[in-house]
C-alpha cells in the first residue's frame, strides 16, 4: 500500500482506541531501501488527520488570531462610529448657524429701518 494513510483507518485495521499512538503502527507500511550512495533509508506514508500536540497548538493559535481580529474590528468600528457622530454634530451645527444667519438677514431686510 502506497500513499498517505488516514489515522482512523489505521486504528480500525489494528483495533486501536483513540488514546493509542497510531504512529507506531505505521511501521507496518515502512519500506527500507538503499540509496545510490549506498546509505540505508526508510520511508513511511504520511498519516492524515493525525491529532498531535503541534496540530492542537496550531488550532489554538488560529482561534487566538481570530479572536484578536474580532476585538480589533469591534474597536475600529466603535472608533469610526464616534468619528461619524462628531462629524454629524459639526454638520448640524454648521447648518443651524447658516440657517440662523439666513433668518437674521431676512428679518433685517424685511423690517423697515426707521431713519428719521
Confidence of residue 103 (pLDDT cuts 50, 70, 90): confident
42 and 71 inside one domain: no
- β-strand 31-34 against 40-43: which pairing, if any? antiparallel
| 1 and 46 part of one domain | yes
pLDDT tens digits for range 49-61: 888 889 999 999 9
- Give the structural domain span for 57: 51-105
Q: How many domains does the chain have?
A: 2
Decide if 100 is inside a domain.
yes
pLDDT in tens, 6-20: 888 888 988 999 888
CATH at 44: 1.20.5.2650
Q: Is 4 helix (H, G, I), strand (E, B) or coil?
A: coil
Instruction: Give the pLDDT score at 102.
Output: 86
> What is the distance between the alpha carbons of residues 77 and 62, in angstroms, rounded to a whole number?
23
Q: Is residue 95 part of a domain?
A: yes
| pLDDT reading at 75 higher than 60 | yes
Structure-derived torsion over alpha carbons of residues 62, 66, 69, 73, reported in degrees to the nearest 10: 170
Q: Look at phi and psi of residue 49 and say left if phi exceeds 0, alpha if psi is from -120 to 50, else beta.
A: left
**C-alpha cell of 14?**
489494528
pTM of the entire predicted model: 0.56
Is 110 domain-assigned?
no
Amino acid at each position: 500500500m502506497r500513499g498517505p494513510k488516514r489515522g482512523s483507518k489505521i486504528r480500525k485495521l489494528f483495533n486501536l482506541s483513540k488514546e493509542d499512538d497510531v504512529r507506531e503502527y505505521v511501521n507496518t507500511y515502512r519500506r527500507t531501501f538503499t540509496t545510490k550512495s549506498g546509505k540505508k533509508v526508510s520511508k513511511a506514508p504520511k498519516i492524515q488527520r493525525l491529532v498531535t500536540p503541534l496540530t492542537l497548538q496550531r488550532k489554538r493559535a488560529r482561534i487566538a488570531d481570530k479572536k484578536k481580529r474580532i476585538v480589533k474590528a469591534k474597536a475600529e468600528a466603535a472608533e469610526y462610529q464616534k468619528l461619524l457622530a462628531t462629524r454629524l454634530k459639526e454638520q448640524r451645527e454648521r447648518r443651524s448657524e447658516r440657517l440662523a444667519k439666513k433668518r437674521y438677514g431676512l428679518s433685517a431686510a424685511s423690517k423697515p429701518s426707521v431713519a428719521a
